[in-house]
Structure formats: C-alpha cells, structure tokens
Amino acid sequence: MKTHLTLAAAGVALVLGALPAMAQEKPVAGEVKEGSLKGKTLTFVSYGGIYQDGQIAALKEFVDKSGVKLLSDGPTETAKIQAQVESGNVSWDVVDTSDFPPYVYCGKLFQKLDMSKIDTSKIPAGQVGECSVPAMNYGVVLMYNNETYKDNPPKSWADFFDTEKFPGTRAIEGSGDVSGGLLEQAFRLNGGDPKAMKPEDIDGAIQKVRDIGSDTIFWKTGAESQQLAESGEADMIMMWTGRAMAAVKNGAKYTPVWQDWLVVMDQLTIPVGVKDTDAAYALINAYLGKSAQEILTEKTSYTPINNEAQPKVEPAVAAFLTNTPERQKQGYQQNIKFWVDNYEAVNEKWSAVLAGN
C-alpha cells in the first residue's frame, strides 16, 4: 500500500512539476519554432489578388523560420471543400472563407478548432467562432454621392431606406451572399430589435429592401461597386470599406457614413480531414501575430485582427481602417447565430430578390 501511495504521490508530483512546462508550451500569436515544419507542405487558400499576395507576404516569416513549403491556391469555394472532404482527399490545409460558411458547416466541412493550439488573446472581442478565427476585418459602409446630397447628406441606414427624404438610386450588394446586417437595419426601421429577430420577421425586412424600388442596383462584385462609385452611377452605395477606399483614392466624390457600419470579416478555417492538423494550427497561429498582421494591413489595407498591430499606412488607407476606438463604437455586429440558423430559408428568399421575382 505504502509503496503504491508513494508512487501515486510521485506521479502527482511529476504531473504538477510538468504543469509549468506545459504552460510554457501555450502558443503565442506570431511565434514560430525554428525548423519545426521542415520537409512539410501546407496549402493556403484564399481569394487571390492583392489580398492573397498580402497574406502570403504576412506568412513569409513563418515560412522562413519553420522551413515549411507553402503553396497558394484558390479562389475559395465551399463547394470545392465539400468535394474534397467527401472524397477524403483534402489538399487545402488552411482556407480563408467569407463570414458565414464556418458557422454553417462547422464540424461538417470545417474542424472545430482546438484553441489551446492557437493564441486568440489579441483578437477583437466576439470574433472567434467554434470553427474559425478572423483572417482580417473590414466593414460595410453606406457611401453617398457628395454632389447629389450636398448640404443634406444621409446620416444612417434609415436614410438609406428613405427614398422620399433622400431620392436617388441605391446600390446594394448582390453577390449572392445574404447580408444579414443590411436586413437587420431594414428590420430596425419599424422599431424591431435585431437581437430578438425571428424567422417570421425575415419577409418584412426583405420587403423593405424591395420597397427601395426598381431603380435599385445590385452589384455582383467588389470591383463593380467601385466602378459604380467612380462613374457616379448611384447616389448611395452599400460598399465594402476596401473598395470604398480605392474608389475615393481614384477620385470618386463620395463620403462614408460610419454610423452602424457593419463589421465583416474573412475567416481562417481548417477543413475536416487535412493531413497535418498541427501544421495548419501553426500557420494560423503565426498569421495572428502582430508583425504578420501589420504586414497584411500595409499590403492590403484591410484592418488587422491583432489588437496590438500598428501598421504604417497612408492617411487615405487609415481613414478606412475599422479598428480605431471611434469606429469600434460606431460599428454594428450582425446576429450571426440567427442568420446561420436560418441560412437556407433566407438564401432562398434573397435569391428571389436577386432574380427579380
């Protein structure tokens, strides 16, 4: 008995002694172990263009230090992830997705993340999902044409929907993905509380969008929205901040309304069935680091998702970053859970709007 007890005690002591060592193992965002992934290959998937170039630049230190071979692929398509997961041959290790898919397909296509393997402490509040961490932040703002509204510009999304007080054409995102944020703003017009929105409220909110009238322009790509601003085609445009900034930089005479700008983000995910999960975690953890996020913002002008990041950007870019204290106060976060729970029903109704029926 005694020997057993002493053995047990020794065991407990061993475990206790090991604890501080394990605590030291706790990952720190941006830290990469020298040579830890030598001989391994990771495929990072995103949406291409300067965005993905910036992400790869942000991961350069990770590649150099860990010795991993980093491949770049894309564009992200949930259907392609599904095909890979179902065929059991997953070649995408870390995937940058839009807002909703990691919530809709959490556990099915995307792995539930083990948060002890990544340092999420510097990520802005409320942005870590069960299957995702943010890849960057941006916003959806209301941009109005200075020449149309002169001294009486719109001040809120309510004004966006008010075609009597603010006549003029509106442009709305029509890429196909439902903007829950826009529908929540529509729902608020009649005094509804988006936090308490119910499935039966969706029709009413969509009707508000329809009520804007047949003049409404639905842009399909970010580039199209930018083109609408630069050519002055629409009087008010619902726009992604990156595109808004680019349009203003190119001389579009539009001003953003920041009140209730919609917080949007891309997500980083690990598909179910990747060959080396730990290597994927290491990539994400490096991506979340301060210096990586600074590089990302400097290359892409998207807002970093590490609270300590201090990117050096020109004033035109800084004007559209969404992480300043002032912007954080004005920002509006959509009720992700509600839109995910009702994903299919909303999508069906919204695609009918987009198909002109």
Partner 1 sequence: MSTSDTRSDSGAASRARRNWGPLALALPALLLLVGVIGYPLFTVVLRSLSQPEWGLQNYIWFFGTPVNLVVLQRTFTISAWVTLVCVVAAYPYAYAMTAVGPKARLLLTLCVLIPFWVSGVVRTLAWVILLQDSGVINSTLRALDLGRLRLIRTQTGVVIGMAQVLLPFMILPLYSVMKGIDLRLVQASRSLGASPLRAFFTVYLPLSLPGVYAGAIIVFILALGFYITPALLGGPRSTMLSTLVQNQVLSLLQWGRGGAMGVVLLLATFILLALAGPLMRQKHKQGARS
Specify the stretch interacting with partner 1 by CB under 8 A; choose among 74-82, 134-142, 185-193, 291-299.
74-82
User: Could you say which DSSP state residue 211 is in?
Assistant: H
The answer to whether residue 351 forms part of the interface with partner 1 (CB under 8 A) is yes
CB of 163 to partner 1, least distance (A): 17
**Residue 200 or 344: which CB sits closer to partner 1?**
344
Single out the residue of 36, 82, 121, 277 in contact with partner 1 (rule: CB under 8 A). Answer: 82
Q: Report the site for partner 1 in 227-256 (rule: CB under 8 A).
A: 227, 231-233
Taking the CA atoms of residue 307, residue 291, residue 40 and residue 93 in that order, the dihedral angle to the nearest 10 degrees is 40
Q: Report the site for partner 1 in 3-32 (rule: CB under 8 A).
A: none
**Residue 227 or 323: which CB sits closer to partner 1?**
227
**Residue 28 or 212: which CB sits closer to partner 1?**
212
Residue 149: Cβ-neighbour burial (10 angstroms; 0-12, 13-18, 19+):
middle
**Residue 174 or 181: which CB sits closer to partner 1?**
174
Span between the terminal Cα atoms of the chain, in Å: 80
Single out the residue of 53, 77, 308, 341 in contact with partner 1 (rule: CB under 8 A). Answer: 77
> Helix count (H) and strand count (E) of the chain?
17, 8
Sheet strands (E) in the chain: 41-45, 69-73, 94-97, 133-145, 170-173, 217-219, 236-240, 254-269
Question: In this structure, are strands 236-240 and 133-145 parallel, antiparallel, or unpaired?
Answer: antiparallel
The answer to whether residue 36 forms part of the interface with partner 1 (CB under 8 A) is no
Do 286 and 62 meet the contact criterion of CB atoms below 8 Å apart? Answer: yes
CB of 344 to partner 1, least distance (A): 6
The answer to whether residue 342 forms part of the interface with partner 1 (CB under 8 A) is no
- The single-letter code of the amino acid at 98 is S
Q: Which residues bind partner 1 (CB under 8 A)?
A: 77-79, 82, 105, 174, 176-177, 214, 217-218, 220, 224, 227, 231-233, 344, 347-348, 351-357
